[in-house]
Amino acid sequence: MLAQLVLRRAALAAICPPASIGGVWPTLAQDRVFDSRLDGYDKFVADEPRIAIVIYTEEMRSQPGSTVNGQPHTPTIQLILQVTARQIVGHDDEVSLDTPWSDPLLEAAIDTTCSQILHRLIVKPHAAFFQARSKVTDQSSEPYRESEGGSPLAARAIILSCQMPRDYGSPAWARKVAALLPDGDAGRQIIEAAAAALEATMALDIQTPLTGVDITKVTPIG
C-alpha cells in the first residue's frame, strides 16, 4: 500500500539523509540504512562488517472509528527497523562503538544505534516522519544474537506501531510527505511514481458490479 511506502521513506530520511549533516550522520550506521533490503546482512556489508539498519513495514490493522467525520476506521501500521552489527576482529586497541571488538562493545553499539533511531523518530521527529504518521501508539524491541559460524553477530528489531492521519494513503497526502524529504532523496521520485500510478487507477471509469443487471429477475436464495 502507498501508506507503507511513504512511512518507510519518511523513516529512512530521518535516520539517513542523502548526505551527512555537517560531517555527522544521525546514527552509527551512517549511510548503511536500507529500505526493505532482502538479502542477508553479510552481503550488503561484505567489505567490512559494520552496523547496518534495514527498514520494513509489516502488519496494518484498523480499529472502528467515528463515522461522523467520514473516517470509518483508524489504521495502524507496524514499522520495523532492524539494527544489525557483527563483532570486528583486530580492533582491540581502542574503545570504539563503530568497530566493536568485544561482546560488551557489540551490545553497546546496538543500544546506542537504537537510541539514536528513537531520537530521530519519536523524541525529535524529522518533519517528513512527523507528517507521515499521526502518532506512535506502541513501541517494543526484539533481540537476536548469533555466535556460531564466524564472529558474533547481534541484532535488534525496533517495532513502532504508527497510527496514520485521516488523509493517509491518498496521492495528495503522499506528495505532502514527499515534499518534506531532503533535497536529493530518492524517495521523492519513488513516492511520486507510486502516487501517479494510484491516480491513474482512481481515474478509470469502472462499471459497478450491477450495471446492466435486472435485479428484479434474480431468483432469491432459499
The answer, yes or no, to whether residue 185 has pLDDT greater than 60, is yes
Q: Which residue has the cell 517495532?
A: 159
- Cβ neighbours of residue 65 under 8 Å, at least 6 residues apart? 71, 72, 73, 74
211 within a domain of the structure (yes/no): no
pLDDT single digits (tens) 5-44:
999 999 999 999 988 777 889 999 999 899 987 666 656 5
Q: Is the pTM of this model over 0.85?
A: no
pLDDT single digits (tens) 81-103:
999 988 877 666 677 777 777 88
Mean pLDDT of 190-197: 94
216 within a domain of the structure (yes/no): no
Question: What's the number of domains the chain is made of?
Answer: 1
CATH number of residue 172's parent domain:
3.30.70.1700
Give the closest residue to 8 by CA, choosing from 54, 61, 41, 52.
54
CA 114/CA 110 separation, integer angstroms = 6
Q: Give the alpha-carbon dihedral of 120, 130, 37, 157, to 10 degrees.
A: 60
221 within a domain of the structure (yes/no): no
Q: Quote the Cα angle for 34-126-62, to 5°.
A: 75
114 within a domain of the structure (yes/no): yes
- State the pLDDT at residue 220: 53
| Contact predicate 75/163, CB 8 Å | yes
- Domain enclosing residue 27, as ranges: 2-189
| Band of residue 210 on the pLDDT scale cut at 50, 70, 90 | low
For the chain, give the percent of residues with pLDDT over 90: 45
pLDDT single digits (tens) 56-75:
998 888 766 655 455 556 78
220 within a domain of the structure (yes/no): no
